[in-house]
Amino acid sequence: MNPIDQIVADRDAARHASDPNADVCFLATTDANGHAHVRTLVLREIVENRFGVYMNRSSPKWQQLTENNGYELLLFYPTRQRQYRLSGTVQEIEPASVDSNWNMRPAGSKYMDYFYREMAPQSSTLESRQVLLSGIDSLKNRYPDPHDLLPPDLAVGLDLVITCIDMLDISNPDRIHDRIHHFLKQGTWVEQVLVP
């Protein structure tokens, strides 16, 4: 089976098994000093080899991804006993899709995106949590109905366009795991067995 179809099938099975990781992914990047950073993100649509994630342009991860330092995306479905490590390139999702996704976000997340734009970038330092709560209160006073909030320019969607997949299956009871490296060559997935 094509490795993307395999991931989609594993994710569907993970969802049916109430796997806590079914809807998330773990994205690792490096900063300009070579320090590694990894964080959890909601994984949206998987279309062909494009894995959609949404974030704010004010965040360090956005800067790291667009500085083109490379990334690795980790999926682990405990209920399937499968790990996938994915890498490739990055493409912005078209603004219309970002906007319709943003409009469905919970009110708190929308106010946070306005906070990043009007008060402080994501992941920057605040004097106290009270500063954050006061800032959110002032946004709620200014925009009392969250339905009136329009998608801010800083909201962005990225397709992680995957060209390499390292699959590890640890379900064999004898602990002799199965590991396969897949890479795209002229539009076709090629596979190599790896020492697990």
Ligand X SMILES: Cc1cc2nc3c(=O)[nH]c(=O)nc-3n(C[C@H](O)[C@H](O)[C@H](O)COP(=O)(O)O)c2cc1C
Residues at the site binding ligand X, with contacts judged by CB under 6 A: 24, 37, 39-42, 54-56, 59-61, 122-123
Alpha-carbon distance of 72 to 83, in angstroms, equals 13
CB nearer ligand X, residue 36 or residue 133: 36
Minimum distance between the CB of residue 146 and ligand X, rounded to whole angstroms?
18
> Residues 153, 156, 159, CA angle at the centre, nearest 5°?
155
Residue 25: how many other CB atoms lie within 10 Å: 21
CB of 40 or CB of 192, closer to ligand X: 40
Query: 137 exposed, middle or buried (CB, 10 Å; 0-12, 13-18, 19+)?
Result: exposed
Smallest separation (angstroms) from ligand X to the CB of 111: 15
Task: Report in angstroms how near the CB of residue 42 gets to ligand X at its nearest.
Answer: 4
Nearer to ligand X, 115 or 182 (CB): 115
User: Considering beta carbons, is residue 79 or 123 the nearer one to ligand X?
Assistant: 123
Instruction: Report the 10 Å Cβ neighbour count for 171.
Output: 9
> Given the complex with ligand X, which of 43 and 162 has the nearer CB atom?
43
Which one, 49 or 59, has the nearer CB to ligand X?
59
In angstroms, what is the minimal distance from the CB of 92 to ligand X? Answer: 15
- Cβ 29 to ligand X, closest distance in Å? 7
d(CA 170, CA 179): 9
Which residues lie closer than 8 Å to 185 by C-beta, 6 or more apart?
none
